[in-house]
Amino acid sequence: MRIAIASGKGGTGKTLIATSLAVHWAKQGKAVTYVDADVEEPNGHLFLRPTFEKTTRHTVPVPRLAGFCDGCAKCQDACAFNAIIALKERVQVFDELCHSCGACVNACPHNSLKLQPRELGDLRHGMAKNINFIDGLLDVGEARATPLIEGVVEAADGELVIIDSPPGASCPAVTAIRGADIAVLITEPTLFGVHDLDLAVQVCQKLNVPPIIVLNRANLGGDMMDAIKATGAPLVAQIDFDPQISVATARGELAIDVVPGFADAIANIADAIVVSEVVS
């Protein structure tokens, strides 16, 4: 089963819950893979503290001139993203704009363009106790996160895969949630939280991934029950704010190990995920 842990908005406690679920299932002796797909700001490793065994550079293909060019500009005309322009006897590629589609390569009458790998960031594999750990680390200043997210998500296989997804409802989140069997949307009872939750539910619907909702810090903020209900996704669990959880998290400790009662809350969510998966 592939479980995407997502949220419309940052800072809702997504990583806390994703890492806790990994620990919970690992303790039960299950083979768990935790994937941190928030490649712009991965922080799952701060809590699970894996030993990295393998780091590879992840690349994305971009066109490069590898042959004769007479500046005919067929490649330029073929590119829908204005990412390649023809000069007198060469081309210039704007890597940041390129979607790696290969239309320019197909269009070159001299067959002179080749797609070549361009590095985006690190793809890291490791073990955190008995949890299989994978994350991606986007190079500083790199604008294209999506191909690396695709890379980390594809690198994960196994019985139970937990995908800690980037926040939001645009491309990065879509890429991480796509292909999951279920999406657990973490939200908080605030105006922003519920507004963004609604967008996250829409993403899941578009991708045909059934969403379930976990309300974090349920005892803070206002009563958002009606608004949550209006999104159409079921609310399966609530976690109350407990300062001990924040303190543990700030120290980089796993709240599930040190905060009394938190393990039960996580066990509830784990059960709800399994039940929802069976139902859908």
Partner 1 sequence: MKVAFAIEAGDGLNAQVCPNFGRAPRFLIVDSKDNSTEVLENKAAQEAHGAGTGAAAMISKHGVQAIVAGRFGPKAFDALSAAEIAMYEAPADQTVKTVLVQIQAGTLKKL
Partner 2 sequence: MKQIVMLSGKGGTGKTSITASLARVATEPKVIVDADVDAANMAILLPGDDEQWRPFFAGTRAVIDYEACINCMTCVWECPFKAIRESKDFRPVVDEFDCEGCGVCGQVCPTNAFSFKPHQAGTWTVRDTKWGPLVHAALNVGEDNSGKLVAQVRQEGRAQAAKTGADYVLIDGPPGIGCPVHAALGGTDLVIAVTEPGVSAQHDLNRLLDLAGWFKIPAAIILNKADLDPKAAQNLLKTAEDKGAKVVAKIPFMPEVPMALSKGIPLIEVPGMQEILGNCWQEIKELV
Positions in the binding site for partner 1 (CB under 8 A)? 73, 76, 81-83, 85-87, 92, 94, 96-97
Q: How far is CA 29 from CA 23, 75, 134, 260, in A?
A: 10, 54, 19, 21
By CB under 6 A, tell whether 73 contacts ligand SF4. Answer: no
Work out which of 30, 73, 95, 107 binds partner 2, going by CB under 8 A.
Answer: 107
The answer to whether 216 and 20 are in contact (CB under 8 A) is no
Specify the DSSP class assigned to residue 123.
E
Task: For residues 33 and 22, give the distance between their C-alpha atoms in angstroms, rounded to a whole number.
Answer: 7
Task: For residues 98 and 63, give the distance between their C-alpha atoms in angstroms, rounded to a whole number.
Answer: 9
Give me 180's structure tokens: 């999951």
Considering the complex, state which of residue 104 and residue 180 has its C-beta at the smaller distance from ligand SF4.
104
- Candidate ranges 49-57, 102-110, 129-137, 155-163; the one touching partner 2 (CB under 8 A): 102-110
Task: For residues 2 and 4, give the distance between their C-alpha atoms in angstroms, rounded to a whole number.
Answer: 7
Binding to partner 2 (CB under 8 A) within 136-195 occurs at: 140-141, 143, 168-171, 174, 188-193, 195
Considering the complex, state which of residue 60 and residue 256 has its C-beta at the smaller distance from ligand SF4.
60
Task: For residues 33 and 220, give the distance between their C-alpha atoms in angstroms, rounded to a whole number.
Answer: 32
Work out which of 158, 179, 210, 221 binds partner 2, going by CB under 8 A.
Answer: 221
The entry of partner 1, ligand SF4, partner 2, none near residue 143 (CB within 5 to 8 angstroms by kind) is partner 2
| Helix, strand, coil tally for the chain in percent (to 5) | 35, 25, 40
- Candidate ranges 76-84, 126-134, 234-242, 245-253; the one touching ligand SF4 (CB under 6 A): 76-84
Considering the complex, state which of residue 89 and residue 154 has its C-beta at the smaller distance from partner 1.
89
Work out which of 84, 183, 233, 237 binds ligand SF4, going by CB under 6 A.
Answer: 84
Binding to ligand SF4 (CB under 6 A) within 96-125 occurs at: 98-104
Task: For residues 105 and 74, give the distance between their C-alpha atoms in angstroms, rounded to a whole number.
Answer: 10
Binding residues (CB under 6 A) for ligand SF4: these are 63, 78-79, 81, 83-84, 93, 98-104
